[in-house]
Amino acid sequence: AACEVILVKMGTNEQGRRWLIPVAGGPDALYATQYVKAIAATTDKTEAVVCQVFPPHSRLPKATTGMLKAIQALKPVLGDRVQPLCRIHDSVPQVVLREAKHYGTDIILMGVSRDGLLRQVVNGNIPEQIARQSTCTVMLVRSPLDAQTPQRDLPSNLRRP
C-alpha cells in the first residue's frame, strides 16, 4: 500500500499505559514506535517492553539491531520506562501472549509480517495468531511500502499540541 495501514483489535482494558512491542527485525515494528511516543508524550505513566523471541537452537540471545533501534527510538520519551526482553521458545505467539499477561499489558503493538505466502504456511501468520488469541488491545501497523525511514512525521491528529 502507498499509505500506512493500522488495524486495531480492541481488548478489555482501555488504559493504554503498558505496551508490549514484539520485534523480529522488520521495519514495521520500528515504524510503529511513533504511536507509543505520541501517546507517551501526553503522560508520564506509559511503559513499554520491547520483546524478541529466539528459536530454541539460539545459544545466548541478545538484543538485535531491530530491538536496539526500537528501544533507542523510545528512550527519549520513556527513559527507563522502556525495557528489553529476550526469550527462547519455538512459538512466538505463545511467548507474546504469556508475557502480555505477565506484564499486565494494555496494548500489544506489532509490525505486520511481510512474509510471503509459503513462509506464512510454514510458520503461520504470527501477528494474526496473536490478535486472535489476545484479550488486550492489539495494534498491527504496516508502514507505507515506499517509506524510506520509519521516523516520518505523525499524522496531524496524533501530533502534540
DSSP state letter for 76: H
Residue 139 or 3, more confident: 139
pLDDT category of residue 153 using cuts at 50, 70 and 90: very low
Average pLDDT estimate for 129-158? 70
pTM: 0.80
**Model confidence pLDDT, tens digit, residues 20-77:** 999 987 778 888 888 888 888 888 889 999 999 988 887 666 667 888 889 999 999 9
Q: What's the CA gap between 58 and 45, in Å, rounded?
A: 34
Q: What's the CA gap between 121 and 79, in Å, rounded?
A: 39
Give the pLDDT score at 72: 92
DSSP 109-139: EEEPP---HHHHHHH--HHHHHHHH-SSEEE
φ/ψ of residue 68, rounded to 5: -65, -40
CA dihedral 93, 99, 100, 104 (to 10 degrees): 170
Give the pLDDT score at 152: 44
Report strand pairing: 47-54 vs 82-88: parallel
Beta bridge partners of 87: 53
DSSP state letter for 143: -
Report H helices in the chain. Answer: 27-40, 65-78, 92-103, 117-123, 126-133
